[in-house]
């Protein structure tokens, strides 16, 4: 399956251990430019670790992890600078002259324009996460790493954020690697779903459903993905 375009992410035999504990045990992964990949797996299986490596934050690894283009990331915790106003948190590091205008536009997209001049510590958990998301999106990277960016959001905001991410992805076409615990979310957004377990990719699902997707259309495939996660849906229902 040699592809003519250079992959946005290419990982071969990636191995990572913290002391004696092996967290990633031979990961092979290629992400095409513009591809939307969702990463599922139980807590502690190494999803954040993989994203950190792809972001270039951890180089003490075995194997190869190559990300040729620009990367931006929304971490599992918002990681905003508490001493810089919300809009500055978005525009800092961009190195563009109209930083505030860009930040305001990004805030409009996550529906937080009113909070542009607020201190981050006054934001709710979900609001802070949306700022962090806006901060990642505004950079228009080649590879966008999203580590459970919708974790602290209520169901309604979560839906709005799905649309937002899909929208921005459709417009700028970055390769996206989205970590999530929500199978429906993965099915709604991703081209491909990877299931990570015990440091390996144990299952891959291609999602060929036409976009925009609706909840009902994903139900059938959901059962199969859940089975890979070790959940028996008949029993759970």
Partner 1 sequence: MTLSIAGVAARPKTATPVQTRKFTLPLRWISPVALVLLWQLASSTGVLSPDKLASPLTVAQAAGELVADGQLGEAFAVSITRVLFGFLIGGFAGVVLGLVSGLSRWGETLLDPPVQMLRTLPHLGLIPLFILWFGIGEEPKLALVAAGVAFPLYLNLHAGIRQTDPGLVEAARVLGYSRFERIVHVVLPSAVPQTLVGLRIAFGTAWLSLIVAEQINADAGLGFLINNAREFLRTDVVVVGLVVYALLGLTTDALVRLLERRILRWRAR
Ligand X SMILES: Nc1ncnc2c1ncn2[C@@H]1O[C@H](COP(=O)(O)OP(=O)(O)OP(=O)(O)O)[C@@H](O)[C@H]1O
The binding site for ligand X (CB under 6 A) comprises 18, 23, 41, 43-49, 76
Judged by beta carbon, residue 35 or residue 147, the one nearer partner 1 is 147
Which of residues 172 and 222 has its CB atom nearest to partner 1 in the complex? 172
Partnered with residue 146 across adjacent β-strands are 74, 178
For 81, what's the count of Cα atoms within 13 Å in the CB-facing half-sphere?
12
Please identify, using beta-carbon distances, which residue of 45 and 165 lies nearer to ligand X: 45
Show the beta-strand stretches assigned E in 163-234: 175-179, 192-197, 200-206
* Residue with nearest beta carbon to ligand X: 48
Residue 46 binds what, of ligand X, Mg ion, partner 1, none (CB under 5 to 8 Å, by partner type)?
Answer: ligand X
Give the residue with the Cβ less far from partner 1, 73 or 183. Answer: 73
| CB 50 to ligand X: min, Å | 7
The answer to whether the CB of 203 falls within 8 A of the CB of 228 is yes
Q: For Mg ion, which residue has the nearest CB?
A: 48
122 binds, among Mg ion, ligand X, partner 1, none (CB under 5 to 8 A by kind): partner 1
Taking the least distance from each CB to ligand X, the nearer of 25 and 32 is: 25
CB of 82 to partner 1, least distance (A): 5
Ramachandran angles phi, psi of 222, nearest 5°: -55, -45
Residues that bind partner 1 in the complex, under the rule CB under 8 A: 52, 55-57, 71-73, 75, 77, 79, 81-84, 92-95, 119-122, 135, 139
**Rounded-to-integer distance, Cα 145 and Cα 136, Å:** 8
Pairing of strands 143-147, 36-40: unpaired
Within 97-126, the residues that bind Mg ion by CB under 5 A are none
The one of ligand X, partner 1, Mg ion, none whose footprint includes residue 71, by CB under 5 to 8 A per kind, is: partner 1
Pick from 166, 235, 217, 175: which is nearest to 5 by CA? 175
Joined together, the tokens standing for residue 154 give: 């209520």
Instruction: Single out the residue of 35, 32, 9, 5 nearest to residue 176, CA to CA.
Output: 35
Output 32 or 58, the one with its CB closest to ligand X.
58
Q: Is 180 in the site for Mg ion (CB under 5 A)?
A: no
Assess 48 for contact with Mg ion (CB under 5 A). yes
**Which position has the token pair 């205008």?**
101
127 token code pair = 């609001």
Q: Return the one option of Mg ion, partner 1, ligand X, none that residue 18 interacts with (CB less than 5 to 8 A, by type).
A: ligand X
Structure tokens at 97: 């002259």
Cα 181 → chain centroid: 11
């Amino acid at each position: 399956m040699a592809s003519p375009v250079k992959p946005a992410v290419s990982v071969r035999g990636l191995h990572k251990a913290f002391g004696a504990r092996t967290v990633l045990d031979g990961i092979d992964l290629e992400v095409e430019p513009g591809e939307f990949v969702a990463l599922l797996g139980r807590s502690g299986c190494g999803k954040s670790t993989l994203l950190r490596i792809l972001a270039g934050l951890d180089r003490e690894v075995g194997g190869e992890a190559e990300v040729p283009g620009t990367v931006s990331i929304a971490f599992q915790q918002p990681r905003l600078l508490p001493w810089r106003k919300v809009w500055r948190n978005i525009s800092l590091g961009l190195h563009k002259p109209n930083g505030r205008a860009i930040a305001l536009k990004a805030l409009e997209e996550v529906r937080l324009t009113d909070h542009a001049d607020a201190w981050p510590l006054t934001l709710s958990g979900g609001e802070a996460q949306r700022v962090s998301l806006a901060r990642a999106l505004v950079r228009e990277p080649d590879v966008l790493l999203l580590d459970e960016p919708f974790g602290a959001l209520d169901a309604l905001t979560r839906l709005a954020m799905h649309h937002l991410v899909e929208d921005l992805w459709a417009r700028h076409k970055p390769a996206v690697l989205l970590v999530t615990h929500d199978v429906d979310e993965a099915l709604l957004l991703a081209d491909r779903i990877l299931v990570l377990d015990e440091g390996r990719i144990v299952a891959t699902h291609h999602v060929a459903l036409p976009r925009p997707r609706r909840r009902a259309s994903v139900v059938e495939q959901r059962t199969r993905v859940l089975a890979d996660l070790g959940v028996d849906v008949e029993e759970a229902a």
